[in-house]
Amino acid sequence: MMKNLAFALQDYILGIQHVGHVVSDLEAAVADFEALYGIDVNTVRWEPPAGVDSPSRFAFVTVAGTEFELIEAREPQMRAQIEKYPSGGAGINHIAWRVKELDTVMAMLAEQGVKPGHVTPSGPVRFGSKALVYLDPATTGGALVELIEIFE
């Protein structure tokens, strides 16, 4: 990867949005976070909500101001896709940074050879009040990085 001295990703990062953590059993992982960190399980955000069938389930848990996205892949195809990435299917999967000016960031990263990848190979996906993109680990030194811009 070439270094463009006129661009530094850290200048566009506003902070950590969340840390993605792959788990084999979502309910057990939430219980572990409750026991270890003393979180209030009533503050956990479940997506999709109970009763909705999905290839993956997520629980968002906040510890000391940092949000963890606990990810449980439920179908073999989704599990196989997660297992391809640096965490190997368990543990820390990715870091999600909240950024400003996502389109500018992506253009500058492209100039350095950094490409979108994972579930967003065509670039940023926009929905509601946010846009997000994963960066291809093959172009980031092996790290799976997610960039999120929230429009307020």
The answer, yes or no, to whether residue 128 has pLDDT greater than 80, is yes
Confidence of residue 12 (pLDDT cuts 50, 70, 90): very high
CATH code, 110 = 3.10.180.10
In a domain, 28, yes or no: yes
In a domain, 2, yes or no: no
Q: Is 151 helix (H, G, I), strand (E, B) or coil?
A: coil
Structural domain contains residue 74: yes
Q: Do the domain assignments include residue 92?
A: yes
pLDDT computed for residue 142 by the predictor: 86
Its domain, for residue 78, covers: 13-150
| Inter-CA distances, 115 with 5, 34, 69, 137, 150, Å | 18, 37, 23, 9, 21
One-letter amino acid of 93: N
Say how many domains are in the chain. 1
Question: What is the chain's mean pLDDT, rounded?
Answer: 87
pLDDT at 118: 83
Res 91: pLDDT: 80
- Calculate the alpha carbon distances from 70 to 43, 55, 92, 115, 138 in Å: 14, 14, 9, 25, 24
Tell me if 127 sits within 8 A of 76, measured CB to CB.
no
CA-derived radius of gyration, the chain: 16
Residue type, 105: V
- Please say if the pLDDT value at position 16 is more than 70: yes
**Is residue 8 in some structural domain?**
no
Supply the pLDDT for residue 6. Answer: 62
Residue 92's pLDDT is: 83
User: Global pTM?
Assistant: 0.82
pLDDT digits (tens, 9 = 90+) for 76-127: 777 676 666 555 567 888 999 999 999 999 999 999 999 999 889 999 999 8
Res 86: pLDDT: 56
